[in-house]
């Protein structure tokens, strides 16, 4: 189970499946109810410890002795199950989003001090090989993931960092530390990097970007037998026409993210402007769409798998919940009940993502009849919303829709993407809010997409 959780922290595109597999092994040993009881017991012990500290500070030794006896008895029982409590916290209350350690511009948030992307990849490959031997039922799945990561180009930091991403203050600190250690070769290398940071150079393809675009086909129709079941959950099959006009611009800016400072807990309305004119961008593309593209390229965003998000421009088949936007009564949904969500609006992104992690794969498999290794249930992606919205009348209300994705701020903090409010751009509106913000004026619309859209392919 620990190995599955470790792999899920690195193989973020399939993290929900690794988590589900861990749950299938863990739940018979330690149920969610047992976990909640043990968690409550730990909270009570912490409360007693605080009381004991207060008694110590006031010199009430009788109270200290009484509390110590109570704490000793409870703590002994808790210590015997501390490992179960730790595993339970990761399985029953997992972090909603983890950043992909191999995405361009995001590596620094996932790497431990002294660790390289290649170290992380080698560890992941070793763990997947061990899972192949330990978990025969999923052997082929683990083998596919292992083959995928083995086939990736070596993810060295040097090949993934653009000159514009060089931080002079960080480079200076590293050079001073190297100088103190007498490492002249490292000092010289850092000096050359600083002197050459304005010289343009080619950047290798991302494992989650254009390198996979040539191998994937997102326009393959859904299996006919799955469509009636999908409709019973409120989904309709929809086709996205290709939008290739701005494609060539992506490769130029995808590796040059600009991280914004963390703002207050209130909503952050991201104004879309400042798109520079480029010869390789067709004049037929609307200014508004060009602004959205520029924003997504230069401000780092990730999808719900933690992979760097770039709008897809190829033809695609998706399943999308079909209902009209409006401020009136929102439609009841079998899908919401299946996910364990009480309503469509007034939900925080944290609530939504945890529901999708826990119940999304099973909903895809049992509810629609699709393979969760190939399809995933997500909030509607922003590019899907903007490409479908005009003909469906979306983006004409004073309300936001939860979008699949997050804005990454300095320090790795993330904010949930929303958009579609007529006051701020309609179908091209894109904003970010706190993940725990559960305001009434934000609705959830779900979609089923192929996992290739989210980043990586598997066999």
pLDDT digits (tens, 9 = 90+) for 332-380: 789 999 999 999 999 999 999 999 999 999 999 999 999 999 999 999 9
Q: Whole-angstrom Cα distance, residue 121 to residue 99?
A: 15
261 and 407, same domain (yes or no): yes
Helices (H), 227-374: 227-232, 247-253, 287-298, 334-339, 349-362
Task: Tell whether 154 is covered by a domain.
Answer: no
Which alpha helices (DSSP H) does 333-378 contain, by range?
334-339, 349-362
- The range of the structural domain enclosing residue 244 comes to 210-454
Q: What is the pLDDT of residue 133?
A: 95
Is a pLDDT exceeding 80 seen at residue 191? Answer: no
Whether residues 198 and 283 share a domain: the answer is no
**118's tokens:** 């290649």
Q: Are strands 235-240 and 375-379 parallel, antiparallel or unpaired?
A: unpaired
Q: What is the rounded average pLDDT for all residues in the chain?
A: 80
pLDDT value at residue 188:
54
Percentage of the chain modeled with pLDDT above 70:
72
- Residue-wise pLDDT tens digits, 301-325: 899 999 988 777 789 999 999 999 9
Q: Total structural domains in the chain? A: 3
Per-residue pLDDT, 97: 86
In a domain, residue 158? The reply is no
Pair 182, 64 in one domain: no
pLDDT higher than 60, residue 94 = yes
Domain co-membership, 292 together with 420: yes
443-444-450 Cα angle (round to 5)? 155
Q: Are residues 257 and 196 in the same domain?
A: no
120 plus 238 within the same structural domain: no
Q: Are both 180 and 230 inside the same structural domain?
A: no
Looking at the domain assignment, is residue 312 inside a domain?
yes
Q: Which two tokens stand for residue 6?
A: 């470790």
Better-scored residue on pLDDT, 412 or 11? 11
- For residue 343, being part of any structural domain is answered with yes
The model's confidence at residue 183, banded by pLDDT at 50, 70 and 90, is low
Position 251 scores a pLDDT of: 46
Averaged pLDDT, 108-125: 83
Q: What is the mean pLDDT of residues 204-219?
A: 55
48-65 average pLDDT score: 88
Same domain for 354 and 421? yes
Is residue 144 located within the same domain as residue 192? Answer: no
């Amino acid at each position: 189970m620990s190995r599955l959780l470790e792999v899920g922290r690195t193989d973020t595109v399939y993290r929900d499946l690794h988590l589900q597999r861990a749950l299938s092994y863990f739940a018979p040993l330690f149920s969610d109810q047992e976990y909640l009881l043990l968690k409550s017991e730990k909270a009570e012990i912490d409360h007693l410890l605080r009381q004991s500290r207060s008694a110590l500070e006031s010199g009430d030794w009788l109270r200290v002795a009484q509390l110590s006896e109570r704490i000793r008895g409870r703590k002994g029982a808790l210590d015997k199950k501390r490992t179960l409590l730790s595993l339970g916290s990761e399985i029953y209350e997992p972090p909603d989003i983890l950043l992909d350690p191999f995405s361009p511009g995001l590596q620094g948030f996932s790497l431990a001090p002294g660790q390289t992307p290649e170290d992380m990849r080698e560890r992941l490959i070793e763990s997947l090989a061990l899972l192949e031997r330990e978990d025969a039922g999923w052997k082929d799945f683990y083998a596919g993931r292992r083959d995928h990561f083995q086939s990736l180009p070596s993810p060295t930091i040097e090949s993934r960092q653009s000159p514009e991403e060089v931080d002079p203050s960080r480079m200076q600190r590293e050079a001073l530390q190297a100088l103190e250690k007498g490492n002249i070769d490292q000092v010289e290398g850092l000096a050359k990097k600083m002197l050459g940071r304005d010289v343009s150079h080619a950047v290798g393809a991302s494992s989650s970007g254009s390198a996979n675009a040539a191998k994937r086909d997102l326009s393959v129709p859904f299996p006919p037998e799955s469509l009636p079941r999908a409709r019973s959950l409120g989904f309709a099959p929809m086709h996205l026409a290709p939008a290739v006009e701005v494609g060539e611009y992506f490769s130029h800016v995808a590796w040059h993210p600009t991280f914004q400072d963390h703002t207050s807990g209130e909503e952050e309305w991201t104004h879309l402007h400042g798109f520079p004119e480029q010869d390789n961008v067709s004049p037929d593309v609307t200014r508004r769409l060009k602004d959205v593209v520029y924003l997504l390229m230069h401000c780092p965003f990730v999808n719900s798998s933690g992979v760097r998000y770039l709008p897809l421009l190829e033809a695609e088949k998706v399943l999308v919940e079909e209902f009209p936007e409006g401020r009136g009564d929102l439609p009841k949904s079998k899908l919401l009940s299946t996910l364990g969500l009480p309503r469509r609006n007034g939900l925080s992104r944290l609530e939504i993502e945890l529901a999708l992690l826990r119940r999304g794969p099973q909903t895809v498999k049992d509810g629609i009849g699709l393979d969760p290794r190939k399809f995933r249930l997500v909030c509607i992606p922003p590019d899907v919303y903007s490409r479908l919205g005009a003909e469906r009348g979306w983006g004409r209300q004073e309300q936001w829709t939860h979008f699949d994705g997050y804005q990454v701020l300095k320090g790795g903090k993330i904010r949930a993407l929303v958009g579609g409010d007529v006051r701020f751009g309609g179908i091209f509106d894109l904003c970010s809010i706190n993940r725990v913000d559960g305001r009434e004026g934000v609705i959830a619309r779900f979609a089923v997409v192929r996992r290739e859209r989210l980043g990586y392919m598997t066999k």
